[in-house]
Structure 1
Amino acid sequence: MQEKIVELRKLKLLFVEDEDDLINIITDTLTKLQANFLTAQNGQDALKIVEENPDIDAVITDINMPIMNGLEMIKILKEKNPSIPVVIMSAHTEIEYIDKAKEFGVENYLLKPFDFIKFIELITTMEIKKHGI
């Protein structure tokens, strides 16, 4: 697992989540792991952050959020930057969300409650073009 954490540290990630409790857990854990990450509370904020940070390597997003949901954000993000990897994290097991996300080029998803071990395994095995290196 230590090798995977080293790989994780090479990436710049954006987490998009509107639940304060979950974003606090994610922030605390990633800070302890010395990961390079940013957070946004909705899709609109996330798109602005990606525009201001072209070195973001991957986006991890919730689906149901205020202002702009994850699917709307993914659609716009993929139109502007088709190669950026996106991982959905959602409590929703409805296949329609996953199918819609797949139409936009999303191949990976994690179900809530958020599992850091599964996340680290997934993100470090994905083919990610490192923009920051």
Structure 2
Amino acid sequence: MIVEDDTTVMEVTSLLLEDAGYEVLPAQGVEQALRAAEERPDIDVVFTDVNLREGLNGIELARVLKARGSHAAMVVVSGDLGWSDTPLDPDMRFLAKPYGRKTLLSVVAEACDRTDDR
């Protein structure tokens, strides 16, 4: 699942992942992400922007999803590098924006591996 409030970033990231063979479930904010996770407990990776402009930030969203029973690996991204030093849970990974195709696919593959190990 990709949680992103910037439509352009959502579309480009989705296309890159779909082209690599991943099924992408888009969510344009916290409420959509929470509903999607409830409807789809099989989500392996949550790829979320930190700054979502509504209520929770991406790190808080990841923690709420975990508290609700999600087993997904969490990748949090931000163009604001101030977030890069924020302590993350062991199953979370920070990725700085902008990221390229190769880095994106590497991080998502690594997240899928972490999910498979559970």
| Same fold at TM > 0.5 | yes
Which structure's CA Rg is the greater one? Answer: 1
**What TM-score do the two structures reach when normalised by structure 2?**
0.82
Change (3 A) 1:51 1:105: farther
The answer to whether the 8 Å contact 1:89/1:114 transfers is no
Higher relative contact order (CA 8 A, sep 6+): 1
RMSD, matched Cα: 2.3
**What TM-score do the two structures reach when normalised by structure 1?**
0.74
Percent identity, aligned pairs only, is 25
1:35-83 residue CA offsets vs partner (Å, 9 max, x unmatched):
2111111122101101101111110000111323213312211211263
Q: 1:98 aligns with which of 86, 89, 111?
A: 86
Q: 2:18 aligns with which of 8, 18, 31?
A: 31
For residues 97 and 65 of structure 1, what CA distance do their matches in structure 2 show? 18
For residues 12 and 76 of structure 2, what CA distance do their matches in structure 1 show? 17
Change (3 A) 1:42 1:62: same
5+ residue gaps, structure 2:
none
Counterpart secondary structure, 2:35: helix
Q: Give the paired residue count.
A: 115
5+ residue gaps, structure 1:
1-13
